[in-house]
A and B are shown apart, each in its own frame.
Chain A
Amino acid sequence: MKIKVMAFASFREILGKELDLDIVGEATASGVLAILAVRNKRFKEAAFDESGQIKDYVLLMINRKRIDPRQDLSTRLHDGDELAVFPPVAGG
């Protein structure tokens, strides 16, 4: 299935603005983040702590709806879903 990853701010500088991933079998938010971490060491260092837990400042949206990275990482993704990765917002 195809999953579109969108990255913003510091994560855009590491990953690029958009990535299309082809995933065989089931996909979850944590699975996609793990793929990104394997592919990109800077992303791994920015998003995960030494024990492999996602850092508190990493925020996620699936199809433009916020999910809680502490609780909803096992959320199943479907073909065509969009996962957005970004740091805390700072508008205004």
Chain B
Amino acid sequence: MLTIEITNEDFSLDELVRKAKRKDAGALVTFLGTVRDDGIERMELEAFREAALPELERIRDEAAAKFNLLSVEVVHRVGSLAVGENIVAIVCAAAHRDEAFRGCRYIIEELKARVPVWKKELSKNGERWVGHE
């Protein structure tokens, strides 16, 4: 499976792992990004969905080619999230662990740099877009 999703709904990491498993994959590496408590109350996530999905697909295809990934699952949430809630999950399956680790790292780093998604942190002191001037 090579699934990419941007959703308002929470997801099950177990379900993503189940979808990514293959008989020829000896390693599955997962990345789960969550809302960190930096003194914030909530985080609002917004995506340019029509541009974000194709960019995620390009990143997935690059990672699959570079690291011989056998399957990839990526889910990114949007909407209003509380501290501790899931933001993003990536599951990479490969024959061996080195490829799975490197592929997973590649996808999260490229996602953060390239995919049009934004976060606003809301705290008692106000609100702040992450990464702005």
With A and B bound together, what is the CA distance between A57 and B132 in angstroms? 7
B54 located at the interface, meaning its Cβ lies under 8 Å from any Cβ of chain A in the complex: yes
| Chain A window 26-48, contacts with chain B (Cβ cutoff 8 Å), 1 for yes, 0 for no | 00000000000000000000000
B residues in contact with A15, CB < 8 Å: none
The interface stretch among B12-20, B22-30, B92-100, B116-124 is B116-124
| Residue on A nearest B110 in the bound complex, by CB | A92
Report whether over half of chain A's contact residues are helix, strand or loop; otherwise say mixed: loop
B64 located at the interface, meaning its Cβ lies under 8 Å from any Cβ of chain A in the complex: no
Contact-residue bracket for chain B: 20 to 34
| Chain B window 47-74, contacts with chain A (Cβ cutoff 8 Å), 1 for yes, 0 for no | 1101110100000000000000000000
List A78-92 residues whose CB lies under 8 Å from chain B.
Answer: 84, 86-92
| Residue on A nearest B76 in the bound complex, by CB | A91
Which of B54, B113, B118, B129 has the largest count of A CB atoms less than 10 A from its CB? Answer: B118
Interface residue from A9, A84, A91, A92 paired with B129 (Cβ < 8 Å): A9
With A and B bound together, what is the CA distance between A88 and B114 in angstroms? 9
A64 touches B132 (CB 8 A): no
| Residue on B nearest A88 in the bound complex, by CB | B131
B33 located at the interface, meaning its Cβ lies under 8 Å from any Cβ of chain A in the complex: yes
B residues in contact with A55, CB < 8 Å: 133
B87 located at the interface, meaning its Cβ lies under 8 Å from any Cβ of chain A in the complex: yes
Q: Which residues of A contact B (CB under 8 A)?
A: 6, 8-10, 12, 55-57, 61, 64, 84, 86-92
Q: Which residues of B contact A (CB under 8 A)?
A: 33, 45-48, 50-52, 54, 76, 87-88, 108, 111-120, 129-133
A-B contact pairs, 7 of them (CB 8 A): A9-B132, A88-B131, A90-B130, A91-B111, A91-B117, A92-B112, A92-B117
Contacts beyond the supplied A6-B48, A64-B51: 4 A-B pairs with Cβ under 8 Å: A89-B118, A90-B112, A90-B129, A91-B115
